Amino acid sequence: MGIQRGANQRYLEAMPTFIVSGGHELSGSIRPAGNKNAALPVLAATLMSSQPVTIGNVPRIRDVATLLEIMESLGASVTWTGPGTVEIDAANVRAGNLDPELSKRIRASILLAGPLLARFGSLSLPPPGGDVIGRRRLDTHVLAFRALGAEVRTAAGLDIDGRSLVGGDMFLDEPSVTATENAIMAATQARGETLIRNAAAEPHVQDLCRCLNRMGARIAGIGTSTLTIEGVSSLGGAEFEIGADHIETGSFIGLAAVTRSRLVIEDAPIRHLDSILIGFRRLGIDCTVDGPDLIVDGRREPVIQMDAFGHLPKVDDGPWPAFPADLTSIAVVAATQARGTVLVHEKMFESRMFFTDKLVSMGARIILCDPHRVVVVGPSPLRGARVESPDIRAGMAMLIAALGARGTSMIRNAGQIERGYESIDRRLAKLGARIERRD
């Protein structure tokens, strides 16, 4: 374990730079990794059982490494038993305060509140970290815990006392993904039945519910905005496999379009791609479903599809099943290479669009209308530049732009990209991408 911990620590502390030689066509097949946003709550949920739980298809990314380090600090035994497979034994987990330095590295530290509350009845949680993409409120988490009978105090972090959680009827003031996941985990071991209305229904929330059911929970309504949870006294061991990442799949669609490449995305999560394919189709990017695979032929110039009667089209995000907020950055980059004009409206986070100034420095024609909206006019020849990765999704968007640009780009703080995309430089190199990683 010491060797593994040391390797994880070096991985977490590395702050790499990507040197990208762009303007080259890519080709071949790539397989999306396990869903990052499912892996984090599923791993957190293993703390609710005193028996070993094995999770498969876990992406080896920075955020997962950080969460596992926090779980180890609480007494969990973490063992990688194979590529992408990790066993968590939480038998010796103890109630205690979370390490504030580790917690501020990732937003997902908030996901430990639900399982620790369910198992120990109380906890103190420091403020979580994560991407700076706008105000990310915790009020819905507080509402959910109080609806289950917990006392919650907010100061520097969250102090929660819920030694006798009781099921009830709760309506979330917004369909927050992480708040829904915390509410589900806490309600799983509350006495009686819990009804969660206006719940988030993203694929990662569905994965969490299915994993908990595998562990012995009783959750109905999976995939809808209304969940019914019958509390159980304890959860047991289980084996569960994380589904393929639909956000990574969408990123590869944008990659194919920007680099004018034909790519095959193997074992894509086809049933979760409806709104994603509609959004990219508005940008003139067509995809073909071939059994479990998705074929993206970006070799011809995409053309923005006007709305009926010639109105300016819009790509906008929203709660599931709408176009995902995590793909708006990718959509902006793809739009810079499409012929026409489009409005991209990021409704959920008011700082996510600020990264577009970096695309402008590369030659993109983008008007930042306000913190939520940009107008993109394409196509614009992109040129290499020195830029920085501000967050996971904007960082991936910058990498895609660099691969489609003429010349060489330097992407500093590329560790942000590695927080959400497993071994992205090596995986894209197999497609012909020219990326050099420097620590």
Please give the positions annotated as active site.
Answer: 131
Alpha-carbon gap, residue 86 to 266, rounded angstroms: 23
Residue of 103, 183, 111, 99 whose CA lies nearest to 149: 183
C-alpha 396/C-alpha 251 separation (Å) is 8
**Which residues are CB-contacts of 183 (< 8 A; sequence separation ≥ 6)?**
114, 141, 144, 145, 147, 148, 170, 172, 194, 196, 199
- Distance, in Å, from the CA atom of 39 to the CA atom of 31, rounded to the nearest integer, reads 17
The full length of the chain comes to 439
Q: Is 10 exposed, middle or buried (0-12, 13-18, 19+ CB in 10 A)?
A: exposed
Q: How far apart are the first and last CA of the chain?
A: 25
How far is it between the farthest Cα atoms of the chain?
64
DSSP string, 331-375: HHHHHTTSBEEEEEE--S-TTGGGGHHHHHHTT-EEEEEETTEEE
DSSP 8-state secondary structure symbol assigned to residue 153: E
* Residue 287 identity: C
d(CA 409, CA 354): 19
Alpha-carbon span 146 to 2, nearest angstrom: 39
Contact assessment for residue 43 and residue 57, using Cβ atoms and an 8 Å cutoff? no
Dihedral, 396, 269, 287, 252 alpha carbons, nearest 10: 20
- Rounded Cα distance between 265 and 427, Å, is 12
Residue 374 CA to residue 329 CA, distance in Å, equals: 11
- In the block, tokens 């030689």 appear at 21
Query: Letter for the amino acid at 294?
Result: L
